[in-house]
Structures are given as structure tokens and as C-alpha cells.
Structure 1
Amino acid sequence: MLQVNNLSVHYGDKRIINDISFTLSSDEILMLVGPTGCGKTTILQCVAGLVPQSAGEVAFTNWRSTSQKHIPPEKRNLGMVFQDFALFPHLTVEQNVCFRVKDSTLADQWLELLGLNDKRHVKPGNLSGGQKQRVALARTLAHQPSVVLLDEPLSNLDAALKDSLRWDIRDALKRAQVPAIWVTHDQSEALSVGDRVGVLKDGILQQLDTPERCFSAPSNPFVARFLGEASFLRGQVQPDGINSALGVINKRPESVSDGEVQILVRPDDVLFVESGDKPNGTIDYSRYEGETRLFGITLHSGESIKLRANHEVVFKPGDNVQVAFNANESPAVFPAESSS
């Protein structure tokens, strides 16, 4: 089990990582997400031993690194997969994967499982981006690392390839039964692939939980906004629910006390009322997305929300509409003054 306890990193007087702790179990995939410069890659480099920590510890079964006792990267038995592939251009696929591998049967195994058998004697310059990333992953797994660290491995690939390759990588990691920390800036990638998701802001871990919990029960408005489209409505907590511009939400969260709150509204949490005999909003825009349409709506209260509906639903800017909550669960709510 990998353990990161109270990890902090400073570059001079600038704090990059502040007091972060988490554990990584046997074959768990932890996704780290956050805006550019939030510190997610620095955490990866600290775990790898490429950047020394200012405080705290990083420990595995047979080693423990602190600010006083640094364990060099070569002593940690970690594998890294980079966004730029880092392959030897003068070596073939087979030679890249077998580089410094003691047991070549492991290399053969991963070449087979990752669909690279017919590319064994091809050099990286003649491979597609997806094939190069499979080679990089096969090389890493052939060394039997204790932990795999992936630094935005799909960022250099086109959207269609990303969608399929993310599952190939996840399946390979699970088959190898090796834990992994995967850094990404892609929210959908983090939510779909990770067993847990850690959301960072300014070097501080805002939330660490399952993808479902991070999305449906975010710890603060920042996490809500970062992990998906989010609008917020003013609400007034009452004994029987929460009153809002869309009516009363009958399910009152147990943790909420009386008073004003912000209600998190996702585009799928609201729907058009078919009768529409009591309009409560006006269409600002309609964006065709293929299977769905995304509508921007200004409510009569002056608040704005987004609504996603089937592509066959058609409204044009200026149309008056009636919308209502469509959430089956209690909505996430935050204190009225909360903004981060």
C-alpha cells in the first residue's frame, strides 16, 4: 500500500503542495484532477522521487521517504508513463519494451495483451500516437512496478482515440493488479476511469472520494464546477424542504440547517414541463449536441440555469418555458456565502 502523509512542497517561499494525505490500495486507480498549476504533477513527481518534499512522507512496503531521508527514484520500483511517450526512437517496439527487462516473457505478454505483436519490429516513428502510448505502457508493466504513475498519458491524442485508449490502459492496469496514480485535466476521463478521484486547487486537496460522490455530492462549489456543468440557485430551507425559483424541493438534506443556501443544479437535474401553462423562464440559447440539446435559460427570478434535453426538443431564443426539478436524489447544497 502506498501512503502519502501530510505531504508539502515549497519552491522557495512559494507553496506548491500543502499538507496532502492519501493511501493507494492494491490495484486502485486514483485520478488527480485540477486546473493548470494546481500541483497535481508535482504530487506525481514527489511520489516518484523526482522532487523532494518539504514536509511529510511518502512510503511503500519496503521504503519510506521524508524531507530528512530522501529515497532516490531508482530505489522505489515505480513505473512512469508520460504524455510524450519517452520512447527510444532508434529501437524497435520489441527493443523498447524489453529494454533492461530481465524476463522477456513478461514483455511478450504485454505486447500480446496490448495488441502490439504485429508491430514488434517497427520503430516509434512509424507508429500512431495510440500505438506509441501502448508501447510506453507495455514497457512500464514489463518491469513489474509496485506502482504506476501516469502523467496526462492521453493529452497528445485526438478525442476519438482518447475514449477507447483510456479503457485499454485501465484494463491493463487491472490485469496487472498494480495500483496507479493518473494525472489528468480531463474531467470525463477522471470520472469514468478512476476508482477514486482527488480534486486539487492551489495545492490543496479539495475532495477525495469515489467519482459518484465527487460529482453528486461535491464538497464545495469549486469541485461542483470543475467536475461538470454547474448552475446555482438561491434556496430557503424550510421544515418541509427547500424553496427555490423552481418550487419546493421536498427532499431536505439532513446536514442542512434552516436559512439561505445555494442549490447545485446540473443540466440533467431539470426538465421542461409539457403543459407549460405557467412559464417561469426564457430561453437564452439552444446548442445542438447530436443526441441532445443544451439550453441556457434565465428564470423569472433573474437566475440562470442550463438544461439538457433530447435533440428532438426544440425551442428558440426568446421562447417562454416552464421548467421544474427532475432530480431523484437530494440536491447538493452549500452555505449561501460559499463561493469556493
Structure 2
Amino acid sequence: MLKVNNLSVNYGDTDVVSNLNLELAKDEILMLVGPTGCGKTTILQALAGLIPISSGDINLGQWRATPEKQIPPEKRHVGMVFQDFALFPHLTVEQNVAFRLADKQPADHWITLLGLDAFRQVKPSTLSGGQKQRVALARTLAHKPAFILLDEPLSNLDAALKDSLRWEIRDALKTAGVPAIWVTHDQEEALSVGDRVGILKNGKLEQLDTPETCFCEPASRFVARFLGEASFLPGELNPSDNSVKTALGTAPGIPVNNATGSVDLLVRPDDVSLILDDTGNGEIDWVRYEGCARFYAVKLDDGTLVKIRASHENKAEPGDRVKLVITTTHPLAVFQRQ
């Protein structure tokens, strides 16, 4: 099991990663997300031994890295998958996957499992982006690493390919039974693929939990906003049953950090319904057509802006009066009013 204890990385006087603590269980996929510059890639580089750490330790059992005892990358038994594939252009697919392997059987196994049999003698320059990434993953898995680090492996691929390849990668990791830390900018990718999600802000973990918990019970407003469209609806919390009374009706709540009294209710676009109504409680501010849905911003009569996603058949235009009602039955996160 990989354990990271109070890990910090400094570049000069700048703290890039501060007091990071996490454990990676057997065959677990941990997704790391956060804004640009929050320290995601630095964490991977530190775990791989590519940069020194300033404090704390990284422990895999058979080795332990500290500021005083740096373990070189080649002795960490770590696999890496990069966004730019990092394949040898002069070698065939088979040669890339089996590079420096005495026993070629693991290479054959992953070439077949990842659907690359027809490309064994092909060089990378003739492959598509998705095929190149499968080759890179096959090469990593064929070397039987103790854990794998993936640095935005799908960022160079088109949207349709990303959706299918993310599941191929997840299935391959689970089949191999190898734990992985996967860095991404794509919140949907993080929530759908990961067993757990870590949200970083300025080099610190804001929250580390299951995707559902991070999305439905975010530890902060930052996490709420980062993991999806978030609207904050003013309300009053009833301490007897944690219900929240708002301008759009009453909803069950989950108080965050012991919120009480005047609060803001976290409302996602799917938590609210919209109907055209001249006597409604808001007005369409803007609308975006998404194909199967329409995404609206509605300015309520009290000035609050609420974002809602409705069926594409539910057509309204900016300036139209509408009525919004909270329709969700599951508890919503509640934050102290700012």
C-alpha cells in the first residue's frame, strides 16, 4: 500500500504542495483534480522520484523516501502514463510494449487485452491518439508496476474518444489489480472513473472522498463550484429536521461545518424544475442549447442567479418569466451564509 505522510514540495520559497496525506489501497483509482497550478503534476513527479520532496515521506513498504533519503525513480517500481504518450518512434508497438522485458509474455497479454494485436508491427507515427495511449498503457502494465501515475492521459484526445478510452483504461487497471493516481482537468472524468477523488487548491487537499460524497456533500464552496455548476440559494435552516426554507420551496439539507440559521443551499442544475409562468418567481437571464438539454440561468426576483438544466423541449428565451421549484428529494449541502 502506498502511503504519503505530510508531504510538502517547495520551489525556492514557494510552497507548491503542503502537508499532503493520502493512502492508496490495492487496485484503487484515485483521481486528483484542481485548477491549473494547484500542484497536481508536482505530486506525481514527487511520487515518481523526479523531483525532491521538502518534508514528509512516501512509503511503499519495500522503500521509503524522505528529504534525507531520496529513492531514484528506477527503484520505485512505478509506472507512468503521460498525455503525450512518450513512445519510442523508431520501435514497433510490440517493441515499445516489451521494451527491456526479459519475459515477453506480459507484453503479449496486454497487447491482446487492449486490442492492439493488429498493430504489433506498426510504428507509433501511423497510430491514432487513442491507439498510442493504449500502447503506452500496455507498456506500463507489462512491466508490472507497484502503482501507476497517469498525468492527464486523455487530454490530447477528442471528446468522443475520451469517453470510451477512460473506461478501457479503468478496466485495464482493475484487471491488473494495480493502484493508480490519475490527474485530470476533467471533472466528469474524475467523478465517473475514480474510486475516490481528491480536490486540490493551492497545493492543499480541500477534500478527499468518494465521488458521490465530494459532489453531494462538498467540504467547501470551492469544492462545490469546482465539481460542477453550483448555485447558492439563500434560506433558513430548521435545526429540528435540517430542512431549509427558500424562495423556491423547502428542501432537506446537510449542514456543512455546523452551519446554522441563515444559510445558503447548494443547488445543482438538476435539482430544480422550470416552467414558463408570467406570474413566476424569476426571469431568464441567458440560455445555452446543449442538444438533449437547455442550460438556463434564471435571475430570481430577489436577485439570486440560479442555473438549471431542462429538457430541450422546454424552450424559453432571455427575458421570459418562469417559475422555479426545488424538485429534488435527496438532502442538499448547506453552507453558512456569507
- State if a TM-score over 0.5 links the two structures: yes
**Structure 2 counterpart SS, 1:290:** coil
Q: Which residue of 2 aligns with 1:293?
A: 294
Cα-to-partner distance string for 1:202-230 (whole Å, 9 max, x where unaligned): 00100000010111110001001111011
Shift of 1:103: 1.3
Matches within 5 A, 1:95-106: 95-106=95-106
Q: Is 2:263 the counterpart of 1:261?
A: yes
Structure 1's consecutive aligned runs of 4 or more residues displaced over 6 angstroms after TM superposition are none
SS of match in other structure, 1:322: strand
5 Å-filtered alignment, 1:198-277, equals 198-239=198-239, 241-249=243-251, 251-253=252-254, 256-272=258-274, 276=277
Distance in 2 (alpha carbons) for counterparts of 1:16 and 1:257: 31
Shift of 1:253: 3.1
Q: 1:95 to 1:315 in 2, by over 3 A?
A: same
Aligned match of 2:318: 317
CA contact (8 A) 2:30 2:180 kept: yes
User: Residue 272 of structure 1: CA displacement?
Assistant: 2.1
Give 1:245 shift.
2.0
Residue pairs, 1:118-129, within 5 angstroms:
118-129=118-129
**Structure 2 Cα separation of the partners of residues 75 and 165 of structure 1:** 30
Structure 2's unaligned 5+ residue stretches are none
SS in 2 for 1:323: strand
Distance apart, 1:273 and its partner CA: 5.0
**Matches of 1:247 and 1:6 in 2, distance apart?**
44
Q: Which runs of 5+ in 1 are unaligned?
A: none
1:156 aligns with 156
Give the distance between the partners of 2:101 and 2:84, measured in 1 at CA: 22
Partner of 1:47: 47
Task: Say which SS state the counterpart of residue 122 (structure 1) adopts.
Answer: coil
- Structure 1 counterpart of 2:179: 179
TM-score (norm 2): 0.96
Q: Partner of 1:112 in structure 2?
A: 112
Distance in 2 (CA, whole Å) between partners of 1:42 and 1:289 is 35
Q: Work out the CA distance in 1 between the residues paired with 2:332 and 2:134.
A: 41
1:128-147 mapped onto 2 (5 Å cutoff): 128-147=128-147
Aligned residues: 335
2: distance between equivalents of 1:252 and 1:140? 45
Letter in 2 for 1:269: D
* 8 Å CA contact 2:259, 2:335 repeated in 1: no
Cα offset, 1:238, TM superposition: 3.1
Q: Distance in 2 between matches of 1:183 and 1:313?
A: 37
Separation in 1 of the partners of 2:293 and 2:60?
46
Identity of aligned residues (%): 62
Mapped pair 1:84 → 2:109: no
Kept in 1, the 8 Å contact 2:8–2:17? The answer is yes
Matches within 5 A, 1:1-16: 1-16=1-16
- 3-state SS, counterpart of residue 332 of structure 2: coil
Q: Identify the residue that residue 165 of structure 1 maps to in structure 2.
A: 165
Once the two structures are TM-superposed, the CA of residue 244 in structure 1 deviates from its matched residue by: 1.7
Tell me, in whole angstroms, the C-alpha distance in 1 between the residues paired with 2:169 and 2:48: 20
Deviating more after overlay: 286-295 vs 177-186: 286-295
SS of corresponding position for 1:253: strand
Secondary structure of the structure 2 residue equivalent to 1:332: strand
SS in 1 for 2:94: helix
